[in-house]
Amino acid sequence: MRLARPGRRAALLAVLLTALSLIAYRQGDLRATAAAAGMPLEFPSQAGTLVLSELARGLEQPWSLAFLPDGAMLVSERPGRLRLVSREGRIGVPISGLPAVHARGQGGLLDAALTPDHGTTGGVCFSYAEPRGEDGSATAVACARLDRASASLREMRVIYRQEPALTDSDNHYGSRLVFARDGTLFVTLGERYSGRAQAQTLDNGLGKVVRLRVDGGIPADNPFVRSAGARPEIWSYGHRNPQGAAIHPQTGELWISEHGPKGGDELNRVRPGRNYGWPVITYGREYSGLKVGEGLTEKAGMEQPQHYWVPSIATSGLAFYTADRIPAWKGSAFVASLKFGQLARLSLEGDKVVAEERLLEGLNRRLRDVRQGPDGALYLLTDETDGAILRLDLLKP
């Protein structure tokens, strides 16, 4: 076959690229249409073909999902509602007994977690942006007993209040909750955006991870309990806005995913008393494109992330996969992405991230949370006004 002349080859290549782009666009458009109709979607992965199906729809900006012992789900909605969702996807009425929430900007009702003794007590804890004074707000954590028969919370008590409250920001509340193996509760706290400098000091709750007992008391082995001028609940500091948290299934250590600025999202292994650097070190830049501070990415005495993303993927929920249903995923960490509507799968060797696989490319929906279900599938929340619970599984597990 005779080769085309250079100019003709360029023209043919341009036509081919345009056609491929149009096919990709139409595929993305078809996926969006199918997703809007609640139809199952298929996606490629290293483990095999994945099928993504919609379990429930009609949640307003859902933020967190927790599985109850019988497989039902407890789902928070950021405007200030907590709901039970059955295993079949039936959405219940709003649960009564919640406190007032500051549902502005990134604030509202945020995470929800079952207490370790939930099976006998019905205990649940939840985090939220608490209104303080006329215009102030800060992260708070409350615990209560869930009465499923009456769809209500009983015996509610606030066990933690972030200090100080701020009046000039409705952002960066952090707010993931996770119980450690010893029954203590980790709470991730954002630096509220305008309080970034205070993430480096120990006399406040901005940009910290704190560790509490479920009654709100302070564990005696917290790292700063005996440090003058430091808040005794602090476990680690130098964080920006951690919105994912999970306990590593082998080591029992806390890992978190946190938002960077323009780039520099991080996955961190959180160890007691350590400084994670924000805003002194970061792999990101200001939203203006300028350097953050001196533009440092490392400094003595400050921890490096286990993994970071440039450009940012807007990290949210975090989960470790421990089930046998999809053997190729066992031991992986999954990080939800708000920006690209993707799910990042990170392969680990010990505490080292050795590979990343991007799943659900082309879905184009804000993924707020990711959880492993009792059946071994992954469940996702979409952060939308008509939000959904999605189930991700192998086409033929």
Calpha distance 298→276 (Å, rounded):
10
Domain extent at residue 19: 11-41
In the chain, which ranges are continuous DSSP H helix? 6-36, 118-121
371 contact partners, CB below 8 Å, separation of at least 6:
65, 66, 67, 317, 319, 378, 379
User: Do 36 and 85 fall into the same domain?
Assistant: no
What CATH number has the domain bearing residue 93? 2.120.10.30
Calpha distance 196→372 (Å, rounded):
33
User: Do 230 and 246 fall into the same domain?
Assistant: yes
Calpha distance 36→13 (Å, rounded):
34
User: Do 23 and 86 fall into the same domain?
Assistant: no
- Domain for residue 3, yes or no? no
The residue among 26 and 127 whose pLDDT is bigger is 127
Calpha distance 26→169 (Å, rounded):
40
- Domain for residue 315, yes or no? yes
Calpha distance 323→326 (Å, rounded):
7
Per-residue model confidence (pLDDT) at position 107: 98
Neighbour tally for 298: CB within 10 Å: 11
The residues that bridge with 237 in the sheet, in sequence order, are 208, 275
The DSSP result for 299-342, as a single string, is -TTSPPPSEEESS---EEEEEE---SSSGGGTT-EEEEESSSS-
pLDDT exceeds 80 at position 23: no
- Domain for residue 233, yes or no? yes
Tens of pLDDT, residues 331-344: 999 999 999 889 99
- Domain for residue 381, yes or no? yes
pLDDT exceeds 60 at position 65: yes
Q: How many structural domains are present in the chain?
A: 2
User: Do 213 and 231 fall into the same domain?
Assistant: yes
Active-site positions? 172
User: Do 78 and 93 fall into the same domain?
Assistant: yes
71: left (phi over 0), alpha (psi -120 to 50) or beta: left
Element (H, E) at 37: none
pLDDT exceeds 90 at position 19: no
User: Do 36 and 179 fall into the same domain?
Assistant: no
pLDDT exceeds 90 at position 382: yes
User: Do 236 and 361 fall into the same domain?
Assistant: yes
> What is residue 241's DSSP assignment?
E
What are the structure tokens assigned to 358, written together?
Answer: 């991007």
Share of residues in the chain with pLDDT > 70 (%):
90
Per-residue model confidence (pLDDT) at position 31: 56
Calpha distance 276→238 (Å, rounded):
5
User: Do 241 and 141 fall into the same domain?
Assistant: yes
- Domain for residue 5, yes or no? no
Tens of pLDDT, residues 32-58: 556 555 689 999 999 999 999 999 999
What are the structure tokens assigned to 336, written together?
Answer: 């939800």
User: Do 259 and 316 fall into the same domain?
Assistant: yes
322-329 contacts: CB < 8 A, separation 24 or more?
322/249, 322/372, 323/372, 323/376, 324/376, 325/375, 325/376, 325/377, 325/393, 325/394, 325/397, 326/47, 326/376, 326/393, 326/394, 326/397, 328/46, 328/47, 328/48, 329/47
Tens of pLDDT, residues 202-260: 999 999 999 999 999 999 999 999 999 999 999 999 999 999 999 999 999 999 999 99
User: Do 175 and 269 fall into the same domain?
Assistant: yes
Per-residue model confidence (pLDDT) at position 32: 54
User: Do 25 and 128 fall into the same domain?
Assistant: no
Neighbour tally for 345: CB within 10 Å: 21
- 0.75 exceeded by pTM: yes
What are the structure tokens assigned to 97, written together?
Answer: 């007994």
Closest CA to 76 of 63, 67, 89: 63
User: Do 159 and 16 fall into the same domain?
Assistant: no
- Domain for residue 124, yes or no? yes
3-state DSSP assignment of residue 148: coil
Closest CA to 47 of 287, 376, 315: 376
Tens of pLDDT, residues 148-157: 999 999 999 9
**Omega before 279 cis (within 30°)?**
yes
- Domain for residue 4, yes or no? no
Contact 247, 270 (CB under 8 A): no
